[in-house]
């Protein structure tokens, strides 16, 4: 699966619908929805980074997947932890317990902002 920029696709469809089929520059030669989607920019995903592959370089709060060792049983769960660096540049996860191991991490999403809510009930006008 590939995440694409829906705003770009809608803008492209608007250009697509505004042009006449006889126009030589008909959307730079792109003439079908399939081609529009194919040319849409890919949105970078926030994939998890296994700690074995690297740890954060900046002190901040991160989403983490931890493994908790409880009486010969491993429980994996998601939570948040702070990455901190000491004066020598060595970092470690702050918080949790000695029974936890951070397996992977990723940046937290942007905080909720009510000004950036889209009305998904609106229909696209012709």
Same domain, 60 and 96: yes
Give me the domain span that covers residue 38.
Answer: 6-45
Residue 117 is assigned to a structural domain of this protein? no
Bridge partners of 64? 79, 105
Residue 125 lies in a domain: no
Token output for 120: 């998904």
40 and 53 belong to one structural domain = no
Q: What pTM does this model have?
A: 0.53
Residue 30 lies in a domain: yes
Domain count, the chain: 2
pLDDT per position as a tens digit, 10-56 = 777 766 555 545 444 445 555 566 777 777 777 766 688 999 999 99
DSSP string, 97-116: -TTEEEEEEEEPPPPP-GGG
Task: Mark whether 95 and 54 lie in a shared domain.
Answer: yes
């Amino acid at each position: 699966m590939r995440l694409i920029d829906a705003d770009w696709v809608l803008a492209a469809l608007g250009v697509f619908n505004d042009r006449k089929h006889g126009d030589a520059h008909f959307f730079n030669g792109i003439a079908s929805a399939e081609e529009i989607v194919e040319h849409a920019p890919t949105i970078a995903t926030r994939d998890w980074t296994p700690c074995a592959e690297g740890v954060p370089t900046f002190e901040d709060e991160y989403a983490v997947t931890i493994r908790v060792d409880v009486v010969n049983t491993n429980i994996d769960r998601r939570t948040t932890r702070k990455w901190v660096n000491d004066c020598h540049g060595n970092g470690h996860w702050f918080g949790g317990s000695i029974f936890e191991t951070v397996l992977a991490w990723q940046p937290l999403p942007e905080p909720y902002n009510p000004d950036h809510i889209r009305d998904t009930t609106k229909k696209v006008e012709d």
